[in-house]
Amino acid sequence: MHTQFSVPDADGYYGEFGGAYIPEMLFQNVEQLRTQYRLIMEEESFQKEFNALLKDYVGRPTPLFHAKRLSEKYATTILLKREDLCHTGAHKINNTVGQVLLAQRLGKKRIIAETGAGQHGVATATVCALKGLECIVYMGEKDMQRQEPNVARMRMLGATVIPATSGSKTLKDATNEAIRDWINNPVDTHYIIGSVVGPHPYPDMVARFQSIISKEIQDQLLNEYGVDKPTRVMACVGGGSNAAGAFYHFLDDSEVEIVAVEAAGHGVHSGMSAATTQLGVTGVLHGSKSIVMQTSDGQVVEPHSISAGLDYPGIGPLHAHLFNSGRGIFINATDEEAMKAAFEISQLEGIIPALETAHAFAVLNDMKFDPSDITVICLSGRGDKDLSTYMAELKKQVDHE
Amino acid sequence: MSRIQTLFHRKNTRVLNIYFTAGYPELNSTLAIIAQLEKSGADVIEIGMPYSDPIADGPVIQQSSAKALQNGMSIEVLFTQLSELRSLCSIPVVLMGYMNPVLQYGFEKFCEQASKVGIDGIILPDMPVIEFERVYSPVLKKYGLDMIFLVTPETSEQRVRLLNQCSSGFLYAVSSSSTTGKDKDFSKVEQYLERLLSYRLHNPILVGFGIHNAATFTAATKYAQGAIVGSAFIKWLDEKGATTESIDHFVKNIKGV
Ligand SMILES: Cc1ncc(COP(=O)(O)O)c(C=O)c1O
């Protein structure tokens, strides 16, 4: 019986979720990854280069910051894991550094990626520039409009950004296009998936690359607070990579509470939501079995969230298992609540968070904290990319006054 | 013997399989297209069940799927339409689609309904072999359905043999690692088909993807028992309409008669 939450079984299943539901045209590539990823990741030369880049290029370790005014408000201790201070402004780069080094060792010359908020696209374009690799990023047409600064950044870094014009023109469709590109370029191309989704071994591989987040939390708690674990860890969940990274080393310790926050959009039952665990059922999307938002006919529905990075109708199989087994607590925040929380955190702590991240703060009001609790929130990214959305909100506030 | 086996028993060269998307161009065009394809000389019909996220398909089939969904097509509606299938069509008919809608419909119920309306085989490109072996193979057997797996030029000999073992009816050779509808360099395709031929597999081989006229059909069927035409037919329906004359013209042109 497979009992660990953090790693899947040999076939890539977390409980009933995961696996590799891929057309034969992708088999060779995915199989090569499956048989190689652990071996390459464990090589000494890989570890050395990966760790050096995380330190000197990404800027790790990121601080674990005691948010005093926020803590005071809830009469407890709240610590923020500052992934927003990573180079390029979010946790996404931990994974892209790892996968680019892996792709090089697999002899791949061409890198493709999908992106929602543009953070994963920027992180991929950045590391490709560093390594002199060709980089193609698929991005939903709608997301290209709402995350315009990131489109410009990718282009400045030398990447080609290709708009995905099918379906809802967001992250789901960008992922479809990236998969089709990989099918059509089976030999020289590596596909860097940006979250803990996709066919096995992607969810496990991405979780391992992101697990540096919880490893550092563990070390920092011990060194700075003299405790070996927090009371709880909280993170927002799109596909679930920052959450997987922040939870990773605590998943198999049942004393640590795991809190995942999904995007409710206009409200879970408004028909304009992206709260996958609340609205989805078991299905197959982008190569793995998980929880998927879909119609009764099995057509994947178009989700809605104000944050492009959470606007996805699925969730990584690891999280589907955390939800189904009850190991994780899954709650959600609306667009409006996230927006309010973004302003609150900015003004309480002097940190402007990404809209995705703001969802993790938006649920604090609904939670109960003991004074002795230590709560770690993964501050997955900074808000620069969301400035136009924030400016529109500021204008609304001014007009209102 | 299944309907597909009977076909290959009788005819093992230049077998023409034509693909179209259910509910395209009109919701109710499905049966009329089937009847006309048989009349015009198709040997096998492959009906695509439209899906919102068809990752193995190129733009032409994606667009036909999106249109079919807009028209109101679903597995439920398709089976209702197909209840009359065997009163107007006697050649093998297979269903092609993706796992998610089939799982949502219920895999066993899907097989039961397919079998009831006279479907002969199933193609689900994203079904994992280990899931087929563990879960789905007995269900398909129970309802007498052939399961058809895909192979590509990158598929190793060992895996071709495994996929051949899992398949019955025929094996679907993708002419290159590509989404449907891409043009292909046929000399490479020939090498690949010669390789498949040299394995002496028990299943006949149909070549798919990229076949669009008499020349490519003849080239593909030099080394394989037959070929599958998909995107080219959808494009034709789009340009010329789904009339008796247009379908007849298309099929006869591919066959070179
Ligand atoms: C800052 C930030 N947080 C969270 C996410 C959501 O992704 P994931 O759930 O994989 O962490 C994104 C995605 O773009 C992001 O940019």
- Chain segment A190-207, per-residue pLDDT in tens: 999 999 999 999 999 999
> How much distance in Å is there from the Cα of A92 to the middle of ligand 1?
7
| Contact across the interface for B99 and A21, Cβ inside 8 Å | yes
pLDDT attached to residue A1: 45
Residue B93: beta bridge partners?
A: B45
Domain that holds residue B229: 3-255
- Mutation for testing the B interface, residue in A13, A28, A284, A295 having most B CBs under 10 Å: A284
> How much distance in Å is there from the Cα of A219 to the middle of ligand 1?
24
Catalytic site residue from B26, B38, B53, B57: B57
The span from the CA of A371 to the CA of B226, in Å, is: 73
Chain B residue with minimum CA distance to A280: B104
Q: Are residues A36 and A77 in the same domain?
A: no
Q: Are residues A241 and A341 in the same domain?
A: yes
Domain that holds residue A34: 21-54+92-205
SS3 labels along B21-63 = ECCCCCHHHHHHHHHHHHHHCCCEEEEECCCCCCCCCCHHHHH
Residue A164: what residue type? A
State whether the beta carbon of A356 lies less than 6 angstroms from ligand 1. Answer: yes
The residue among A188, A205, A222 that closes a domain is A205
Residue A296: list chain B partners with CB under 8 A. 104
Q: In this complex, is the C-beta atom of B177 within 8 Å of any C-beta atom belonging to chain A?
A: yes
Average pLDDT estimate for B192-206: 95
Q: Are residues A182 and A295 in the same domain?
A: no
- Chain segment A346-394, per-residue pLDDT in tens: 999 999 999 999 999 999 999 999 999 999 999 999 999 999 999 999 9
Q: Are residues A291 and A376 in the same domain?
A: yes
Q: In this complex, is the C-beta atom of B60 within 8 Å of any C-beta atom belonging to chain A?
A: no
| Contact across the interface for B179 and A184, Cβ inside 8 Å | yes
The residue among A158, A187, A205 that closes a domain is A205
Interface of B with A in 119-138 (CB under 8 A): 125-128, 130-131
B26 in catalytic set: no
State whether the beta carbon of A168 lies less than 6 angstroms from ligand 1. Answer: no
Q: In this complex, is the C-beta atom of A292 within 8 Å of any C-beta atom belonging to chain B?
A: yes
Q: Are residues A158 and A75 in the same domain?
A: no
The full DSSP string for B165-191 is: HH--S-EEEESSSS-TT----HHHHHH
The full DSSP string for A265-283 is: ET-TTTT----HHHH-EEE
Q: Say if pTM beats, i.e. exceeds, 0.90.
A: yes
The residue among A156, A182, A205 that closes a domain is A205
Split into its structural domains, chain B has a count of 1
Average pLDDT estimate for B19-37: 97
Q: Are residues A47 and A168 in the same domain?
A: yes
Q: Are residues A160 and A85 in the same domain?
A: no
pLDDT attached to residue A147: 87
Residue B114: beta bridge partners?
A: none
Q: Are residues A194 and A271 in the same domain?
A: no
Catalytic site residue from B38, B46, B120, B146: B46
Average pLDDT estimate for B90-113: 98
Q: What residues of chain A score a pLDDT lower than 50?
A: 1
Q: Are residues A331 and A193 in the same domain?
A: no
Q: In this complex, is the C-beta atom of A20 within 8 Å of any C-beta atom belonging to chain B?
A: yes
What CATH code is carried by the domain that includes residue A109? 3.40.50.1100
> How much distance in Å is there from the Cα of A243 to the middle of ligand 1?
9
- Chain segment A124-160, per-residue pLDDT in tens: 999 999 999 999 999 999 899 888 899 999 999 999 9
Minimum distance, in Å, between the CA of residue B58 and any CA atom of chain A: 8
What CATH code is carried by the domain that includes residue B114? 3.20.20.70
State whether the beta carbon of A242 lies less than 6 angstroms from ligand 1. Answer: yes
Give the residue from B28, B36, B7 showing the smallest Cα distance to B247.
B36
Q: Are residues A177 and A256 in the same domain?
A: no
Q: What ipTM goes with this model?
A: 0.95
Split into its structural domains, chain A has a count of 2
Q: Are residues A194 and A248 in the same domain?
A: no
* Nearest residue by C-alpha to atom 12 in ligand 1: A309
Is A124 inside a domain boundary? Answer: yes
Q: Are residues A138 and A165 in the same domain?
A: yes
The span from the CA of B167 to the CA of B121, in Å, is: 10
pLDDT attached to residue A365: 96
Strand order in B150-151's β-sheet?
Answer: B146-147, B121-123, B93-96, B44-48, B15-21, B226-229, B205-208, B171-174, B150-151
Chain A residue with minimum CA distance to B125: A23
Residue B102: list chain A partners with CB under 8 A. 298
Q: Which two tokens stand for residue B5?
A: 């086996």
Q: In this complex, is the C-beta atom of A267 within 8 Å of any C-beta atom belonging to chain B?
A: no
Residue B177 has pLDDT above 90, yes or no: no
Q: In this complex, is the C-beta atom of B93 within 8 Å of any C-beta atom belonging to chain A?
A: no
